[in-house]
Copies of this chain bind each other. A is one copy, B any other.
């Protein structure tokens, strides 16, 4: 037996984990230990700092409820969620629409909305029309694709943040027509601050970050045989369009509503046309970086 050193301890951990049978778990944990130890050595992490981190992680876990996923929020503000999304996009054999974060406000049980209907059930504000076509990467229509969308109301709140999520609003599922076309009415969303009253908020404030996301509309689009697309459209005139605190914005996802769009199927409403391209499915793995928080807690 030898005395462990600040370098040999890493080797000792890797050796002890060699008994892992699942090759992918073995690979992930070995890489994690190497990078985690490199991090601690690089910054010469002190016992007090380590204990602060333990306390932070503990509070983050304890802040999680069926209505709130504080660890996803942490991953978001560290850019890890965006990176995992981008890594997933890179595995597609062909380039579909750029993905973006699913975020913590997705729900599986949103109401169906007919073509031309509105996802605003109770909320009031300036209307917006979203329309376009869902195609494959060659531009061929995907008939009957399901477009799930959700967003804040015109005051910057998701339904789940109002009265404990008592009422469903500003979310809906639209079925495209036989040409893959959709049009749906909504309200103009407002940008908002991520929840800053928890441990992640403490961190973001200590980093002097504004903690804001630019106004956006979430989309989850699927059709049999195609890779599920998780993305969002961002309003170009939002003051935080260049500094999204969770790194979800890509240039290709920035839109600017047009007051007079001659091609709009519902003239008179400011319109955003966006055509989504779905890549073919290569496997059964989900592209969702994020989940209904109720699922995470139940896992």
Give A contacts to B, CB under 8 Å: 1-6, 9-10, 12-13, 16-17, 19-22, 24-29, 31-33, 35-52, 54-55, 57-62, 64, 69, 71-72, 75, 78-88, 90-91, 98, 206-209, 241-243, 245, 247, 249-252, 254, 285-291, 296-297, 299
Contacts and interface: CB of A to CB of B under 8 A. Distances in A.
Contacts of A296: 51, 54-55, 58
A256 to B, nearest CB: 13
Contact of A39 (B4, B31, B81, B285): B31
A71 B54 contact: yes
Contact of A9 (B4, B22, B38, B247): B247
A88 B40 CA distance: 11
Nearest to A288: B47
Contacts of A243: 16
Ranked nearest first, the 7 interchain pairs of A and B with the lowest CB-CB distance are A61-B61, A13-B79, A19-B208, A35-B39, A55-B299, A3-B250, A20-B207
A274 to B, nearest CB: 16
A200 to B, nearest CB: 12
Contact of A84 (B50, B64, B245): B50
B297 A20 contact: no
A88 B294 CA distance: 41
Contact of A78 (B33, B57, B75, B287): B33
Given A50-B75, A289-B50, A43 B17 contact: no
